[in-house]
Structure 1
């Protein structure tokens, strides 16, 4: 199968998986009323989704190394699709959170297989360029997804959001069933998968780029967890107004991903990643100062976040490619482990953001700034510089 076809399939599946993070956010207050609980409790659904994404990632990677990519991708799409359809049928907060966990498990397999299939087809700077297209799919889902969710909620109610997403996922599974993926050219099965993962994890050339991407990713997760309560609370935004915020967010991430695609070959991966992390730090810091000095001005909160998103869109695909190139073990293991690290970090950060969630903007802004400082430390590590 041509690399362009692989890229199209992987971007489409990632788009569906990432919609699960953002498409329901504008409906969060309505869902809380329907479930007879507080909106901050429903916000834990994102943390459960991220936990579900993190839990089986290493398993998805090791199994795909033995039986191939396609069966794993099909299974993940079916799990994801059926759990989306089932979610509106559940009763109570507990069932909602459980089904969000199952959704995350399906999205986990989709995410791992998308990255592994890209890794099978591209290397080096070309890998960073290809991963930038996955980043574009990610942000289109992240930003436009919440706008789409606000439209569906207004027209059909919040259950239709998950039903439509589930149906689309099952249709995609049918398409994937007809696609031929390339045969594996490498089989790292002579030792246990755990030994491979431990060997990769202890390598600094893999670890620091992986942590750099994960901390920047955490800024986006923290914002998605707490921002609906802030903007629809203290700033009195409607669900549709919050949905419209997806457009500038999407534009920021889209432009950054295009920047990687266009400039990574001439600028170099480490330099471009450093610029990206610097923008995340600047955006988060301005967001913090704006939250303290201009507590009634919404654009001082969301506009600096858009700059941080632009920086993360530069950082993320490059950090993934550097982590993969720095891995001492070939095959699906490095991509699966980096995904596991990122989702584990995201789940923890989402949980923290849920605990500090309030109608005040400064706790979220402070958390984002601390995460950006951690990313800057990692990107400046000597082992990170040597891999560029």
Structure 2
């Protein structure tokens, strides 16, 4: 019963953290107009958010190991909530980006603690299955976030997006304060923070699955960064039309996460992970072919991306569980380090996507294809490494 409560709470908190990534995207052109800035400059808000998520992850993990999971989760929810409430009060691009960074710092702690709490409660294939529920939360936020953001923007204006997210975050903190979580595991508790992280990072069985998950995640980050400018530019989509795209994307990720949930105990993790990364590569390659052909049909741009999203939803929870099982040091360290690697990669990929963002789709499609190819290489090497 306590494990089920932990799973529910972590899914809700991950949902909030991921909303911070996607809920404002349909309003990006309106935000740019309100800040008297270029849309391409405001698109840096996603990369800055990801930087904020990446940089303090090791700190959050160390803090959780020393003072406990619950106080750290409460602090992270507080930072995230206040950052959202403060953001609409700024009137410049600089204030927008600074507060997006603060939001990311709070989301960082939420993300780390969700993984650590799941890791405290499950192990092995059951850990992959539990992580698939986090993936479902991620994708529901991805789809509902875009659609909800577009509706709030049209009805109340873009500042209401952040006010709503901040208020819900602080309410969630009140709920978490009343919950008692399962006792944590304390493997290698005597090891100090930085030697622990260094020992894990050097371990091949941890690093390869973590890199595979991060590169696949980068495909989603790159698309979220550049796609609004493409679809609301040359394809002339409205914010609501772009928001509706979240539904097929959500359906793809949801089906993949359900696939992990129902199949991983029967098929094993390595096989399912290989299939997932293969789909990411195939979807990205079709996007690239359609973009190079110069087609004006938007379906040939976003539909292959949905197949890539389906593949990543297979890949990501398995990569997290394999990385955790392959780590030589337990506790909160492995989960914090994998999160740090993923968010650092996502921040770098988001920055690259912002720099190459144009009205043409082929630079984004090429970036996604290269990322997927890198993930496939990692998976193949990890599979070979796993053989007796």
TM-score range for the pair, normalised by the shorter chain length: over 0.9
Does the CA contact (< 8 Å) of 2:206 and 2:322 recur in 1? yes
TM-score where L is the length of structure 2: 0.98
Partner residue, 2:152: 152
Provide the rounded CA distance (Å) in 2 between the counterparts of 1:209 and 1:187: 21
Tell me by how many angstroms 1:294 deviates: 4.1
Tell me by how many angstroms 1:188 deviates: 3.9
Provide the rounded CA distance (Å) in 1 between the counterparts of 2:152 and 2:60: 32
Provide the rounded CA distance (Å) in 1 between the counterparts of 2:357 and 2:369: 16
Task: Flag the 1:387–1:45 CA change in 2: closer, same or farther, 3 A.
Answer: farther
Partner residue, 1:63: 63
Partner residue, 2:257: 257
Asked if residue 28 in structure 1 is aligned to residue 28 in structure 2, the reply is yes
Structure-to-structure mapping, 1:182-193, within 5 angstroms: 182-186=182-186, 188-193=188-193
Asked if residue 324 in structure 1 is aligned to residue 330 in structure 2, the reply is no
Does the CA contact (< 8 Å) of 2:209 and 2:382 recur in 1? no
Partner residue, 1:202: 202
Does the CA contact (< 8 Å) of 2:208 and 2:382 recur in 1? no
Provide the rounded CA distance (Å) in 1 between the counterparts of 2:2 and 2:229: 45
**Per-residue deviation, residues 17-76 of structure 1 (Å, max 9, x unmatched):** 000000000000000000001000000000000000001100111110111100000000
Gapped runs of 5+ residues in structure 2?
A: none
Does the CA contact (< 8 Å) of 1:129 and 1:260 recur in 2? yes
Task: Flag the 1:189–1:124 CA change in 2: closer, same or farther, 3 A.
Answer: closer
Does the CA contact (< 8 Å) of 1:205 and 1:384 recur in 2? no
Tell me by how many angstroms 1:189 deviates: 4.2
TM-score where L is the length of structure 1: 0.98
Tell me by how many angstroms 1:305 deviates: 0.1
Task: Flag the 1:387–1:133 CA change in 2: closer, same or farther, 3 A.
Answer: farther
Does the CA contact (< 8 Å) of 2:57 and 2:337 recur in 1? yes
> How many pairs align?
388
**Per-residue deviation, residues 258-307 of structure 1 (Å, max 9, x unmatched):** 00000011111000000000000000000000112143110000000000
Tell me by how many angstroms 1:336 deviates: 0.3
Partner residue, 2:238: 238
Partner residue, 1:287: 287
Gapped runs of 5+ residues in structure 1?
A: none
Provide the rounded CA distance (Å) in 2 between the counterparts of 1:359 and 1:99: 28
Provide the rounded CA distance (Å) in 2 between the counterparts of 1:114 and 1:365: 31
Runs of 4+ displaced beyond 3 Å: 382-385
Provide the rounded CA distance (Å) in 2 between the counterparts of 1:49 and 1:315: 23
Instruction: Describe the SS at the equivalent of 2:190.
Output: coil
Partner residue, 1:336: 336
**Per-residue deviation, residues 77-124 of structure 1 (Å, max 9, x unmatched):** 000000000000012000000000000000000000000000000000
Instruction: Describe the SS at the equivalent of 1:381.
Output: helix
Provide the rounded CA distance (Å) in 1 between the counterparts of 2:235 and 2:31: 20
